[in-house]
Amino acid sequence: MAEKKSTVDTWKKKKWYDVFSDSTFDEKKIAETITSNQKNLIGRIVKKGLNELTGNIRDSSFEVSFKINKITGARADTMIAKFESKPSSLRRMIRRQKSKIEPVFYATTKDGTKLKLKVLAITGTKYATPLRAEARKAIVGFFTDELKEKTTKECWQDIVFQNISERCKSKLVKLGYVNKVLVAKATVV
């Protein structure tokens, strides 16, 4: 006769942890997660819509990814790892007879954090090729100069709430009519 094996229920060994956002969003509770080993939580990614964090429905076209970096007791603290715009919202902005300028570049903050940025600028009229190149150069120069003078927390605050984009738009007006400037994607490298 075959012997009966005893099985161990691994679910009972797991613990629940509350995941909190970083100080940019006032350390709100954003999720709960479960694990049997605390070490497995470090580096785990939690995605949230920006409208869930701010309570503003206008922010529903953006998504923020948080990376768990510290665990204390049953609390998991995070830092912002990625900020991006949903592709469907970007598609709705682009129209005929407009130019889309999309530079992708790296910028370093005051405290040494390297960010990869994708900025989207939509013009009011069609730009000629030399003018698009000049606008791209102006965008990259403005963002790298602005971000190198700020800490990582200040940079994320400017990027997430699009404050830096508005300042950039006012600089680009010298080249011609600019409809919209926004950070489409920002990632910590």
Q: Which residue has the tokens 């603290």?
A: 77
Q: Which residue, among 118, 134, 129, has the nearest Cα to 174 in the 3D structure? A: 134
Tell whether 117 and 65 lie within a shared domain: no
Tell whether 58 and 99 lie within a shared domain: no
Residue 94 has what pLDDT? 86
Tell whether 95 and 106 lie within a shared domain: yes
Q: Which residues pair with 167 in a beta bridge?
A: none
Residue 127 vs residues 22, 107, 123, 145: alpha-carbon distances, Å: 40, 26, 7, 25
Residue 10 has what pLDDT? 84
Model confidence pLDDT, tens digit, residues 66-95: 999 999 999 999 999 999 999 999 888 888
Residue 2 has pLDDT above 80, yes or no: no
Contacts for 76 with CB less than 8 Å, ≥ 6 apart: 17, 18, 19, 20, 33, 41, 68, 70
Phi (first) and psi of residue 129, to 5 degrees: -55, -45
For residue 7, is it within any domain?
A: no
Q: Over the chain, what is the mean pLDDT?
A: 92
Number of domains the chain contains: 2
Tell whether 97 and 39 lie within a shared domain: no
Q: Which residue, among 99, 163, 160, has the nearest Cα to 133 in the 3D structure? A: 99
Residue 9 has pLDDT above 90, yes or no: no
Model confidence pLDDT, tens digit, residues 122-180: 998 899 999 999 999 999 999 999 999 999 999 999 999 999 999 999 988 888 889 99
Handedness of CA 43, 52, 146, 77 (dihedral sign): negative
Q: Are strands 75-85 and 15-20 parallel, antiparallel or unpaired?
A: parallel
Model confidence pLDDT, tens digit, residues 94-127: 888 899 999 999 999 999 999 999 999 999 889 9
Tell whether 124 and 160 lie within a shared domain: yes
For residue 2, is it within any domain?
A: no
Handedness of CA 148, 121, 85, 157 (dihedral sign): positive
Q: Which residues pair with 35 in a beta bridge?
A: 15
Tell whether 177 and 135 lie within a shared domain: yes
Residue 1 has what pLDDT? 59
For residue 9, is it within any domain?
A: no
Residue 3 has pLDDT above 80, yes or no: no
Structural domain including 118 reads 87-188
